Amino acid sequence: MKFHHIVSLIAFLLILFTVLYGGPRLSSYLHRKYKRSIDKNAIEISAMVYQKKTHKGHLVMFRYVYKSKEYRNREQDNELFEKLSIGDSIRIIIDTTDPSSSYILKDDVKITWQ
């Protein structure tokens, strides 16, 4: 019986470690992969922040026009959320073969470290 409790505790700790450590790393990896796929057919354009949300993270929502069609996208990022305001003009990268895929250029946003 004691062996069963030890195995259960080890399994629980392993799962906890995986979620706490692996979750953010997986999210970061997927975001880098998303950006690399956009960069294959990239063009830089301007966009405007139209909304910010705090449900399940800090979301910055932006809209842009490409070839006379309006697109909307969002990016979850704490730094961008803190530094950008609704109505701000930003620079983004879009995929010319799939203009709905885009991301915000962080170099364009003035982020100061505290």
- Whichever domain contains 55, its CATH number is 2.40.50
53 shares its domain with 80: yes
Cα 62 from Cα 11, distance rounded (Å): 42
Q: Band the pLDDT of 29: cuts 50, 70, 90.
A: confident
Opening angle at CA 91, ends 87 and 95, nearest 5: 120
According to DSSP, the residues that pair with 102 across neighbouring strands are: 94
**Three-state SS at 31:** helix
Kindly report, residue by residue over 46-81, the tens digit of the pLDDT: 999 999 999 778 999 999 999 999 999 999 988 999
Kindly report, residue by residue over 78-99, the tens digit of the pLDDT: 899 999 999 999 999 999 999 9
Q: In what order do the strands lie in the sheet with 69-76?
A: 69-76, 59-66, 42-53, 89-95, 98-104
Q: Is residue 113 part of a domain?
A: no
Query: To the nearest whole number, what is the mean pLDDT of the chain?
Result: 86
Cα 41 from Cα 75, distance rounded (Å): 20
61 shares its domain with 88: yes
Query: What does pTM read for this prediction?
Result: 0.74
Mean pLDDT in residue range 13-23: 72
Domain extent, residue 56, equals 41-108
Query: Among 56, 45, 57, which residue's Cα sits nearest to residue 89?
Result: 45
26 shares its domain with 52: no
Q: Band the pLDDT of 114: cuts 50, 70, 90.
A: very low
Q: Is residue 97 part of a domain?
A: yes
Opening angle at CA 80, ends 78 and 85, nearest 5: 120
- How many distinct structural domains can be found in the chain? 2
pLDDT at 26 over 80: no
